[in-house]
């Protein structure tokens, strides 16, 4: 239930060392076409002119399964290993798409570079999603190795349930440090002092890939229930649809570790951001070309340890002064820009920049008003370092608020029906915490109210402490007839297991769950009659528990009187 709060990392050690693996030259490989850089860059100019999202990779469609490709090996402990490799001679990065991914509980899949030093965290059965797809983060190399380890008994299942369908060879952005590319020198790193007052909003913004070969920016956005629903706002023209939504991979906290002085060579050079934090897959909830917005719900919440926040929003027709834009220009490290002015113009905000700018890759990024609330997302424009051109942000929050659920925002961002004109950013790290009783687990953990409730807990109030909270008040005796047992659990857990809950704060020691419903019915025919009298007389004076109607340890006249009083059907 609280898996969203467990720590995880993209890079991980494996139970098998490099020495245990086959030499690279023995691993079957699929070689994809070399990248024609001149042709790709020429095409990118046309794509930008036509308002299309930034492309960073060359896609190749394939159909590769463990049944048709690769090599299987026997390992110790009754395990099997399947290995396969993909390669592009002049690529800067590689990423993969699996149209079919259904991993059994015994299995795990690693994606790594040719040295095995760079490894994406293991994908397991926890990554099985309803849409059945899996899209991976990039490997900053021209070769990627796939390794699946599974119980021998599940080898046949894996051979049918895993299918690699897309190999994407990267030619810009998302690549090795020495050649990853950068954004314009006039941009401002979010870690610079200019961003100091925006750290509730900065972690909500992420750069993402879609289909493994084009990319935009978006932001996690709060809703009136403040229930950690992983809604991600971006631009309609970026291409997140009901058929492409599963292929999204969002990268979090991808930013430079220090402030590069704006307009310096350093600021215009390579950054040192880390791509180790990612979320894969989503379900598109609402989209509309008018105001150019898309809202998609990520398939899982970002790891709590990453500190991701949920930006607030405003439905106002004014930005109330100068706000900010937070974005990933050219898929590079996260930057922050500040308008000279922003004004409403039809379905767009007309924005001119005073500090910083935007670039391809910034599309879909949020525009904030002076109150740090999202008012729209980047649609288009020709702003760049070296010019004073304007950008245009779709006024989605105000102009696409009402309507059908599939083309408006209120159904998703206002599930409580509050009709709120605005909502502030939610930062889980800064929210008050208190004792959270989790009956299902029989424990108490200090959490914020929203986290507690979203996990099925019972919040005890801000600043309350588990050390002084008796969570046993929410646990009681549960009679489980199937096993003739009594256990102390919550009412929810008891009912879910088919038990009969005896009430909060009851104890099994004080309850006889399976005492006969009719103690005077000695022979068990659901009637107290002559046959029971005869059985009692036969046991007279003994301590036969079956005939001891009142349970005092002896069969005597007291038992007879109870029997006469209970005469008839039970």
Please state, in angstroms and as integers, the Cα–Cα distance from residue 29 to each residue in 24, 60, 110, 158, 569, following that order.
Answer: 9, 14, 16, 19, 79
Catalytic residues: 237, 292, 363
Please state, in angstroms and as integers, the Cα–Cα distance from residue 558 to each residue in 373, 524, 535, following that order.
Answer: 78, 20, 15
CA 493 and chain centroid, separation: 25
Torsions phi, psi of 30, nearest 5?
A: -110, 120
Residues 466, 446: contact at Cβ < 8 Å? yes
Q: Which residue has the tokens 């797809």?
A: 133
Crossing angle between the packed helical segments 530-538 and 557-565, to the nearest 10 degrees = 170
Q: Which residue has the tokens 């290993």?
A: 81
Residues ≥6 apart with Cβ < 8 Å to 361: 54, 173, 183, 207, 215, 216, 217, 327, 328, 329, 330, 331, 332
Residues ≥6 apart with Cβ < 8 Å to 116: 18, 21, 145
H/E stretch holding 158: helix 155-161
Residues ≥6 apart with Cβ < 8 Å to 557: none
DSSP result, 123-181:
E-GGG--TT--EEPPPBSSSEEEEEEEEEGGGHHHHHHHEEEEEEEEE-SSSS-GGG--
Please state, in angstroms and as integers, the Cα–Cα distance from residue 506 to each residue in 269, 365, 472, 478, 514, following that order.
Answer: 67, 54, 9, 9, 16
Residues 375, 400: contact at Cβ < 8 Å? no
Q: Find the length of the chain.
A: 570
Neighbouring C-beta atoms of residue 5, cutoff 10 Å: 15
Residues 538, 523: contact at Cβ < 8 Å? no
CA 132 and chain centroid, separation: 16
For the record, the structure tokens of 565 come out as: 């009083």
Neighbouring C-beta atoms of residue 499, cutoff 10 Å: 22
Residue of 25, 57, 62, 20 whose CA lies nearest to 40 = 57
Residues 13, 122: contact at Cβ < 8 Å? no
Residues ≥6 apart with Cβ < 8 Å to 50: none
Question: Strand locations in 245-381, DSSP E?
Answer: 249-251, 278-280, 282-288, 293-298, 312-314, 324-327, 335-345, 348-355, 366-368, 373-381
Decide the pairing of beta strands 373-381 and 312-314. Answer: parallel
DSSP result, 20-68:
GSPPGGGS-EEEPPPP-HHHHHHHHHHHHHTTPPEE-EEEEEEEE-TTT
């Amino acid at each position: 239930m609280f898996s969203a709060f467990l720590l995880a990392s993209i890079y991980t050690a494996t139970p098998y060392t490099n020495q245990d693996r086959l030499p690279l030259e023995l691993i079957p490989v699929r070689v994809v076409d070399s990248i024609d850089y001149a042709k790709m860059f020429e095409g990118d100019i046309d794509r930008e002119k036509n308002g299309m999202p930034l492309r960073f990779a060359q896609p190749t469609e394939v159909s590769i399964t463990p049944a048709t490709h690769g090599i299987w090996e026997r390992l110790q402990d009754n395990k099997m290993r399947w290995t396969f490799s993909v390669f592009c001679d002049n690529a800067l990065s590689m990423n993969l798409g699996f149209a079919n991914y259904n991993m059994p509980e015994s299995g795990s899949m690693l994606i790594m570079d040719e040295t095995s030093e760079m490894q994406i965290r293991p994908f397991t059965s926890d990554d099985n999603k309803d849409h059945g797809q899996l899209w991976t983060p990039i490997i900053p190399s021209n070769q990627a190795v796939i390794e699946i380890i599974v119980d021998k008994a599940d080898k046949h299942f894996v051979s049918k349930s895993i299918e690699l369908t897309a190999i994407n060879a990267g030619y810009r952005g998302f690549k090795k440090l020495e050649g990853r590319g950068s954004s314009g020198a006039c941009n401002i790193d979010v870690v610079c002092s200019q961003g100091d007052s925006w750290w509730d909003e900065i972690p909500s913004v992420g750069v993402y890939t879609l289909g493994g070969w084009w990319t935009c920016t978006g932001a996690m956005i709060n809703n009136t229930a403040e229930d950690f629903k992983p809604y991600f706002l971006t631009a309609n023209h970026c291409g997140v649809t009901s058929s492409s939504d599963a292929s999204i991979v969002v990268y979090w906290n991808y930013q430079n570790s220090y402030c590069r002085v704006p307009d310096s060579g350093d600021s215009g050079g390579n950054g040192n951001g880390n791509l180790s934090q990612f979320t894969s897959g989503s379900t598109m909830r609402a989209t509309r070309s008018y105001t150019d917005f898309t809202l998609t719900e990520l398939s899982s919440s970002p790891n709590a340890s990453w500190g991701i926040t949920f930006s607030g929003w405003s439905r106002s027709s004014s930005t109330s002064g100068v706000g900010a834009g937070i974005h990933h220009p050219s898929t590079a490290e996260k930057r922050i820009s500040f308008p000279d002015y922003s004004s409403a113009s039809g379905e767009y905000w007309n924005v001119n920049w005073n500090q910083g700018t935007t670039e391809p890759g910034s599309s879909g990024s949020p525009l904030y008003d002076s109150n740090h609330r999202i008012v729209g997302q980047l649609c288009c424009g020709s702003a760049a370092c070296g010019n004073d051109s304007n950008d245009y942000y779709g006024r989605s929050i105000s102009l696409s608020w009402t309507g059908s659920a599939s083309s408006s925002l209120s159904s998703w961002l206002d599930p409580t029906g509050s009709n709120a004109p605005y909502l502030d950013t939610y930062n889980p790290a800064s929210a008050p915490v208190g004792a959270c009783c989790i009956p299902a687990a029989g424990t108490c953990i200090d959490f914020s109210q929203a986290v507690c409730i979203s996990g099925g807990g019972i919040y005890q109030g801000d600043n309350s402490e588990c050390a002084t909270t008796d969570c046993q008040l929410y646990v009681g005796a549960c009679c489980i007839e199937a096993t003739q047992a009594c256990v102390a659990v919550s009412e929810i857990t008891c009912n879910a297991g088919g038990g009969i809950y005896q009430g909060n704060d009851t104890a099994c020691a004080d309850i006889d769950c399976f005492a006969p419903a009719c103690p005077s019915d000695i022979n068990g025919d659901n009637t107290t009659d002559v046959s029971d009298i005869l059985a009692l007389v036969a046991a007279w004076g003994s301590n036969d528990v079956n005939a001891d109607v009142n349970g005092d340890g002896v069969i005597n006249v007291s038992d007879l009187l109870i029997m006469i009083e209970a005469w008839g059907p039970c």
